[in-house]
Chains A and B, each alone.
Chain A
Amino acid sequence: MAAETGTPTTLTLKSNDDELFSVAESAAILSVTIRNMVEDGCAGGVIPLDNVDGKTLASVITYMNGISAIPADEEKKKSYRDKFLSDKDFETLADMVLAANYLNMSCLMDAVSAKIAQVMEKKSVGWVRRKFGIENDYTPEEEAAVKEEHKWTFEGVETDDDN
């Protein structure tokens, strides 16, 4: 990381609903998008983040500060991430994954994706379709095949061993 030592530099980030946030440069450059801007020298004034709303950005900044305060200890960082995401609802996770992608923060991206995967696993296909706004585009024949595949996947048999 190219963080300056000495006086800590502060960056000002602006969300797409015009909220302003101050954040230490050393924490903000966890975002590759922001780091590139800093390196290109275009982070002097306010950095507009057009794809992130204030609520999400506040949350991301909490994460940036939290994770950058932890020294290089993967275990601790992981448990921080788990704790950070534990109280986020599914809609918030969507905002987070889009923000993490836009800001190019791979560690957050990975953690959020894993969390989403974890939530989805407990849900039905119908729930996933509704949440993701996905239309079931299978033809009736394909739908039957999906059901068959599903049966194979979820059902086994126990043979009778009493003979």
Chain B
Amino acid sequence: MKTLVVGIGSTILTDDGVGVVAAREIQRQLSADRIDVLELGTAGIALLDYIGGYQRVILLDAMVTGAPPGTVHQLTGEAFTKSAHLGSAHEADLPTVLALGQRLFPGKMPHEVVVIGIEAQELTEFSETLTPAVAAALPAVVSAVESLLDGC
């Protein structure tokens, strides 16, 4: 069973796009036999269009927790709320989206949803380039996804 990797964020706001950049890197490095890759601006209700039928979904997103920039976090459950884009003011946040999916489409939802958050440094300046510390974290994100895939 394939895993869906979803990169979230915008690539024109410096580190905000790290989830998308990481997803592209994963697509480049890892076998398409094992994963599908998707890019989204936010993980709102649109996520339900894509995650049905996957056993596992890995969401990649920029995050601000106060840790050093480039720190790679791996989160589940309640910790979802710490992410930058796992929700939208105009729809629903990730726990609500997942709960909605379970209520409306039982049996089709993934068994496991993992969030890999990358600590961002700059999120308020327009740029298509990641800050060096955050760019340096990309190999660790790829490794984290590989570890999850190998662990199954």
**A and B associate:** no
